[in-house]
Structure 1
Amino acid sequence: MSSPVAQRETVRDIEAICRLDLGSRELRRRIAERLTRLVPADSYCFGTIDPATLLITDDVSAGLTPAAAAAAAHNEYLVDDVLKFAALARSERPAGTLGAATGGDPESSHRYRAVLPMIDARHELRASFVVDRRCWGAIALFGGGGRPDFTPVDVDVLRRLSAPVAAALRRAVHRAPADAAPGPAEVPLATAQLV
């Protein structure tokens, strides 16, 4: 279990990252790297979300296979399950664990049965990043069977980061991507989307 000092330092460090002039992908990579030093995870996905539709528009991840990413997207939009990003975005509590959301019975979750085994995960911690009642991003952290489940303290850290991370993601939408690698360029969100 992390100390209160480590928790405060992590929140402070991530708030400082949020104040940097970074493109969205680099911002998310740095936040995830710092966050996972406090909240150990074997893999993660950190997406931007269109605040009007609550659809994921881009994803930065580590430890996920393409097949797992496709299965996760299918679960997110087409399967009835708990702890969906859109539900977290509308909730007073924008973060939670799969274990708590299922009342300690994660087997009752389709995502637990169908997606988590694809990445050898047994635990999941999710959060939506919301400011001014608008969601700008979401993260899922995954832990393998060798790790204990995420704790209420881990959930609280993500809740405390919801607004500052959302505000930083909102600002990053309007920045040119300084961190774009060769290949398809990151495109800022426009006023409309074709789905």
Structure 2
Amino acid sequence: MGRALAAERVRRDVEVLARAGLDLDTFVEEAMASLQRAVPFDGVCVGSIDPSTGLLTGTRKLGSLRGVNEHDRDWGLLEYGEPEATTFSEMLSGGVLAAGLQAGTVGDPAESARLQEFMIPRFGYADELRTVCVDDRGQWWAGVAMFRLRGEPGFDADEVAYLASLSGSLALGMRGGLLTTLASTGPANLPGPVVLIIDASNQVAQASAGAAGRLEHLTSSSPLDGGTTGLIGSLVGAARRYARGES
């Protein structure tokens, strides 16, 4: 009874926050703090998504992931470059709003390269709960990934269903946060596109003039911001997958 009551209070909190006109960082921090009361986690990463392309545009991290960015490039390569049932794009394509790895919502956790080869050895996370944040028009604005450490109970089916039920509210808050943040910063006066040449080891071998400034513009001074290495990794992963003829 107490758990159900807390969950409904958190739901109302998130719905109010989503309509409050908050900037992106404030919405993410306050919404995740509320969600922590209903679905406890050790770390969480919220990725903002371009709804037109499905590409990652930024990350915000809290809990034990806050400020931990050194593995972001490899995460981007896995997330966008390797087929897996619980990548955000595959979940969206399959109409799966939320998935728990150990709960077995989709796929087998023993076959998840992201969990077995990345999250467990690098972070000590033994379970992950994800949701794709989709608004009432079907546009995808964000992906949320929550983590629990080894030795803790995994996310259960009720928690998976609960997070799925918040997909629309989280999408609304992310969309509003992005628009509010853009309105407050104004347009950037940065000439030309960014061209990066990536070598076989997935390192930047060459960059066009002004690339550093353009990439810096994609980040913020917020301590939640994950920087640009994950963005570059996701682009490279998607490009390599496309080159292999995989959608």
- TM-score category of the 2 structures, normalised to the smaller one: 0.7 to 0.9
- What are the within-5 Å matches in structure 2 for residues 104-119 of structure 1? 105-117=108-120, 118-119=122-123
**Structure 2 letter corresponding to 1:73:** G
- The corresponding residue for 2:242 is none
| Distance across 2 between alignment mates of 1:68 and 1:152 | 29
- What are the within-5 Å matches in structure 2 for residues 136-147 of structure 1? 136-147=141-152
- The corresponding residue for 1:78 is 81
- What are the within-5 Å matches in structure 2 for residues 159-170 of structure 1? 159-170=164-175
Larger radius of gyration: 2
**Structure 2 letter corresponding to 1:94:** L
Are the aligned partners of 1:97 and 1:125 in contact in 2 as well (CA < 8 Å)?
yes
Are the aligned partners of 2:19 and 2:173 in contact in 1 as well (CA < 8 Å)?
yes
- The corresponding residue for 1:176 is 181
**Structure 1 letter corresponding to 2:126:** R
- The corresponding residue for 1:192 is none
- Give the 3-state SS of the residue equivalent to 1:41 in structure 2: coil
**Structure 1 letter corresponding to 2:128:** E
- Give the 3-state SS of the residue equivalent to 1:168 in structure 2: helix
- What are the within-5 Å matches in structure 2 for residues 11-30 of structure 1? 11-30=11-30
| Distance across 1 between alignment mates of 2:138 and 2:106 | 26
- What are the within-5 Å matches in structure 2 for residues 1-195 of structure 1? 3-62=3-62, 63-64=64-65, 65-99=68-102, 100-101=104-105, 105-117=108-120, 118-131=122-135, 132-176=137-181, 186=220
Deviation at 1:71, TM superposition (A): 2.3
- Give the 3-state SS of the residue equivalent to 1:115 in structure 2: helix
- TM-score scaled by structure 2? 0.68
Which of structure 1's runs of 4+ aligned residues deviate more than 4 A? Answer: 177-180, 183-186
Do the aligned partners of residues 179 and 114 (structure 1) sit closer, same or farther apart at CA in structure 2, a change above 3 Å counting?
A: farther
| Distance across 2 between alignment mates of 1:26 and 1:138 | 17
Deviation at 1:2, TM superposition (A): 6.7
Do the aligned partners of residues 70 and 179 (structure 1) sit closer, same or farther apart at CA in structure 2, a change above 3 Å counting?
A: farther
When the two chains are superposed, the root-mean-square deviation of aligned CA atoms in Å is 2.5
Query: Any gaps of 5 or more consecutive residues in structure 2?
Result: 186-215, 221-234, 236-247
| Distance across 2 between alignment mates of 1:47 and 1:133 | 17
Query: Any gaps of 5 or more consecutive residues in structure 1?
Result: 187-194
- TM-score scaled by structure 1? 0.85
**Matched length:** 185
**Structure 2 letter corresponding to 1:116:** M
Identity %: 26
**Structure 2 letter corresponding to 1:144:** L
Deviation at 1:5, TM superposition (A): 1.1
